[in-house]
Amino acid sequence: MKVAIVGATGAVGHELMKVLEKSTLEFSELQLYASPRSAGLKLPFKGQELTVQATPEGAIDADVILASAGGSISKALAPAWVAGGALVIDNSSAFRYDEGVPLVVPEVNGEAALAHKGIIANPNCTTAIAVVAVAPLHRKYGVKRMIVSTYQATSGAGQKGMEELLEQTHLQLHGKEATATVFAHPIPFNVIPHIDAFQDNGYTKEEMKVAWETRKILGDESLIISCTAVRIPTLRTHSEAITLELERPATPDEARELLRSAAGVEVRDDPAAKLYPMPLTASGKYDVEVGRIRASLVFDGGLELFVAGDQLLKGAALNAVQIAEYLQA
């Protein structure tokens, strides 16, 4: 099997290569593609140096294409890649809401990937991280309503987002003015309740993605979901506070026990020992940390929890590779 990464020089592309190095996926060749200005660049992979090529307009001679170059590139080029016989696992939102395009988190709805017609969508990072924790609870207790507040790292805006945090922090510490280019406002020493475009209903697109995508992944259009998505000055790993109203009551102990055996979850929940999910401990980890599990004061029999998941891993590169692994197994 031949694998290609489109967007190999970006933050997600970089993580895709690291995840592929450790993956159980069997492939004979890895091709790297990026914009023409990165063509010729050499990137290390399994002790070799692979040369980045300019992304072609037409078909790519690969069986699986991991696309992480952004929605406009996927929209324009993926049809030709599929026509050329490749399976495209796309990290953008270009096809996520299309009927017939599975939206997959392998631990939750891996079997949905089997019905693909050439494209499988990787979910929005915030959604992927949340559903790993929420899906087991939904299966056992039936989630009726879900309220999510996010604390999203600058990595969500890619390499340039992380660079803006570091550069602006340096400027501000030296008393200089920082001009925002990636984010709506300077990000150091700030929190910004604005990720992606505002919609007519007052929510941002990022917030609506959590609602649209959670329903599609869990296969439950009756779920009521509200989200406030906020950018914070961390480098990587998105954190989320989640409130759940349940059809059947769950105690925190029952939820902890269920989540301890759930794939992709690490229960980190011992407040007395100062153990709870945090970007500092979740960054670089494959599992999503889940903690602060407690009985909701809002919904009788409901739960409150806090999760932290590496946005570049479970929220992007890792999930994409796990989809390919699921299909090969």
Residues that bind ligand HSE in the complex, under the rule CB under 6 A? 124-125, 152, 156-157, 195, 206, 311, 315
Nearest residue to ligand HSE, by Cβ distance, number only: 156
**Residue 286 in tokens:** 């494959």
Q: For ligand HSE, which is the closer residue by CB, 90 or 266?
A: 90
Determine the residue type at 5.
I
| 138 catalytically annotated | no
Rounded to whole angstroms, the Cα distance separating 137 from 318 reads 22
Q: Strand (E) positions, the chain?
A: 2-6, 29-34, 42-45, 48-54, 64-67, 87-90, 119-121, 143-151, 224-228, 238-246, 265-267, 288-295, 303-309
Rounded to whole angstroms, the Cα distance separating 214 from 224 reads 10
List 14, 116, 125, 138, catalytic entry: 125
Give the torsion sign (CA, 314, 47, 281, 164). Answer: negative
Q: For ligand HSE, which is the closer residue by CB, 152 or 283?
A: 152
Smallest separation, CB 25 to ligand HSE (Å): 22
Q: For ligand HSE, which is the closer residue by CB, 94 or 267?
A: 94
Q: For ligand HSE, which is the closer residue by CB, 184 or 263?
A: 184
Q: For ligand HSE, which is the closer residue by CB, 6 or 255?
A: 6
Give which of 39, 91, 88, 82 is closest to 59, Cα–Cα: 82
Q: For ligand HSE, which is the closer residue by CB, 31 or 124?
A: 124
Rounded to whole angstroms, the Cα distance separating 69 from 91 reads 8
**Residues 122/308, Cβ–Cβ less than 8 Å:** no
Give which of 307, 299, 306 is closest to 247, Cα–Cα: 299
Rounded to whole angstroms, the Cα distance separating 280 from 16 reads 21
Smallest separation, CB 83 to ligand HSE (Å): 27
List 14, 116, 138, 238, catalytic entry: 238
Smallest separation, CB 53 to ligand HSE (Å): 26
Rounded to whole angstroms, the Cα distance separating 293 from 140 reads 16
Smallest separation, CB 67 to ligand HSE (Å): 13
**Residues 57/81, Cβ–Cβ less than 8 Å:** no
Smallest separation, CB 81 to ligand HSE (Å): 21
Smallest separation, CB 205 to ligand HSE (Å): 9
| 238 catalytically annotated | yes
- State the catalytic residues: 125, 238
